[in-house]
Amino acid sequence: MAVHFISSESVSEGHPDKLADQISDGVLDACLAVDPTSRVAVETAVKSNLVLVAGELTTRARPDISGIIAETIERIGYTDAAFEDSFACAPGNLQILTALVRQSPDIAQGVDGEGLDEQGAGDQGMMYGYACNETPELMPVSIAMAHRLTLGTTQARRTGLIRGLRPDSKSMVTIGYEDGRPRAVSTVVISVQHDPDVDIENELRAALMQHVVLPALPPDLDGDKVRFLVNPTGKFVRGGAFADAGVTGRKIIVDTYGGVGRHGGGAFSGKDPSKVDRSAAYAMRWVAKHVVASGAAARCEVQIAYAIGVAQPVSIMVETFGTENADPNKIAKVISELFDLRPAAIVRDLDLRRPIYGKTAKYGHFGRQDPDFTWEQTPRATAMASALGLS
């Protein structure tokens, strides 16, 4: 019996890196809402009451950067006067620096074409997509549960279900596997920012266990011997950008598959869909999910690579880890027949020029049941199954 363990982590929307991601995607959405052809590549850094927004904008829109920052902070919940000792980045108390210029013409010439063959990739690089049949959303169970925990802390805070919670939280879940299948939850770690007067031992830990942790345990996995670590260091009053700096794109494994599937290295937030770091990674999730949803494999990872300014991919790789129910070479051939993976075709087929990205910047870009997340839909699964001779 082969036994191994996999751990995945998640962070809440109040984590400083996620604050930075949400500001960057807020700028992107503001541009796309006015000009769907906007070219945006925006990075944000936050520390205490300083916010730096830098990058490239080529757009007819005139985004209100200060307003986007203030709205993001307020929506997350860092506005209460009680946060003065833990988070200085509140509206009215901000130092905002911007360094925004137009997209380099050297890059623009490779992506300005109108046709499917004329619009090339916005950069070189490789992107990965992954899917597996461990959960209904076809995600690894470790990252799916980790996201449920951090989302659960946010919901408990917003509804008042648990007293004294603040916006910053983190989780990590370890799953035990036997012969390649998840069998048991091994360890759950959750750390939640809180008010100074909260009784951690007698109040906070018990409430988090009752309302957040236990409801997130998958019913089909063994949970009898779970090691629970709830606020293991004890006090967690200072959080957000006061306790740590935040930078766009620093949580790419949280954003994707929790370390189970590989990652090409490119971040998503703040980038318009002409950047294949984002759009092709979404397309690869779309393709991999179709493979699993069609019954062609229990696990699938797809890699694609592009050269800057070139529409056709340099390479496509399909890996099914020995779980396939059809010839892997035939799976790859059917993918090429069903999916047009030129950048402009991806943007067209997934309808990516919409202001939908702010909500992708928290609790993962994949595995979400939201109609705007078109890359999570599998309308071609039946056609794939039929082409592979699967019932």
Positions marked active-site: 15, 17-18, 43, 56, 170, 236, 244-245, 250-251, 271, 275, 277
Residue in 326, 268, 337 with CA at minimum distance from that of residue 300: 326
For the sheet containing 125-132, what is the strand order? 125-132, 299-306, 315-319
Tokens of residue 236, six digits:
């967690």
Per DSSP, 85 falls in state: G
In angstroms, the CA 335 to CA 300 distance is 12
Residue in 378, 3, 362 with CA at minimum distance from that of residue 181: 3
Q: Are 76 and 361 in contact (CB under 8 A)?
A: no
Cα of first residue to Cα of last residue in the chain, in angstroms, is 31
Angle, CA of 380, 313 and 383, to the nearest 5°: 15
Q: Number of C-alpha atoms within 13 angstroms, CB side, residue 333?
A: 7
Give the position of tokens 């759009």: 279
